[in-house]
């Protein structure tokens, strides 16, 4: 690539980073959820309790228990674009009496956990997400 092309590419990349930064500054980056039941992610059983979800990248979220004993990387695929005032929640699939982390809904739309495979007989259970800003909980509106 010649010097002019490299400069143009760098400017486009910088513009994209600045635009994304503005989007993330306006929208929540982390949220908390009190999950009242044990649940599974990729075959791993996690205990009920308070958790924080931190948005690291548009398709990558870090899940952490309040006590710090549990930490899990979560990768998502966006299923639906955001609507007006979308609910902020985690959707668990209920299968054979067990709860499986399946989706997250928020300002970014609806995203499915990539390691989860829905089945026709699944039912669902929602757990609300409460955004966190500088350590203070706000009314539900999505990840912060």
Tell whether 101 is covered by a domain: yes
Q: Residues 33, 53: contact at Cβ < 8 Å?
A: yes
pLDDT beyond 60 at 142:
no
Q: State the average pLDDT over residues 49-61.
A: 93
Where in the sequence is the domain holding 115, given as residue range(s)? 27-137
Q: Decide: helix, strand or coil at residue 74.
A: strand
Mean pLDDT computed over every residue of the chain: 79
Instruction: Kindly indicate the confidence band of residue 2, based on its pLDDT and cuts at 50, 70 and 90.
Output: low
The reported pTM is 0.72
Q: What is the pLDDT of residue 134?
A: 57
Judging by DSSP bridges, how do beta strands 98-106 and 89-95 pair with one another? antiparallel
58 or 35, greater pLDDT: 35
Tell whether 3 is covered by a domain: no
Q: What is the pLDDT of residue 22?
A: 36
Q: What is the pLDDT of residue 137?
A: 43
- Among residues 85, 25, 83, the alpha carbon closest in space to that of 55 is found at 25
Number of helical (H) and strand (E) elements in the chain, helices listed first:
1, 12
Tell whether 6 is covered by a domain: no
Q: State the average pLDDT over residues 76-88.
A: 82
Q: Give the pair of three-digit tokens for residue 14.
A: 């910088």
Q: What is the pLDDT of residue 10?
A: 38
- Among residues 98, 73, 76, 82, the alpha carbon closest in space to that of 142 is found at 82
Tell whether 55 is covered by a domain: yes
């Amino acid at each position: 690539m010649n010097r002019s092309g490299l400069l143009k590419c760098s400017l486009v990349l910088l513009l994209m980073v600045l635009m994304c930064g503005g989007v993330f500054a306006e929208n929540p980056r982390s949220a908390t959820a009190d999950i009242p039941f044990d649940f599974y992610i990729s075959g791993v059983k996690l205990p009920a309790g308070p958790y924080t979800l931190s948005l690291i990248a548009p398709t990558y979220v870090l899940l952490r228990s309040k006590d710090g004993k549990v930490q899990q990387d979560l990768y998502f695929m966006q299923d639906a674009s955001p609507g007006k005032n979308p609910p902020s929640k985690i959707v668990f699939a209920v299968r054979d009496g067990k709860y499986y982390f399946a989706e997250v809904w928020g300002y970014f739309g609806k995203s499915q956990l990539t390691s989860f495979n829905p089945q026709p007989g699944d039912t669902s259970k929602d757990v609300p997400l409460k955004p966190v800003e500088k350590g203070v909980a706000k009314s539900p509106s999505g990840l912060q």
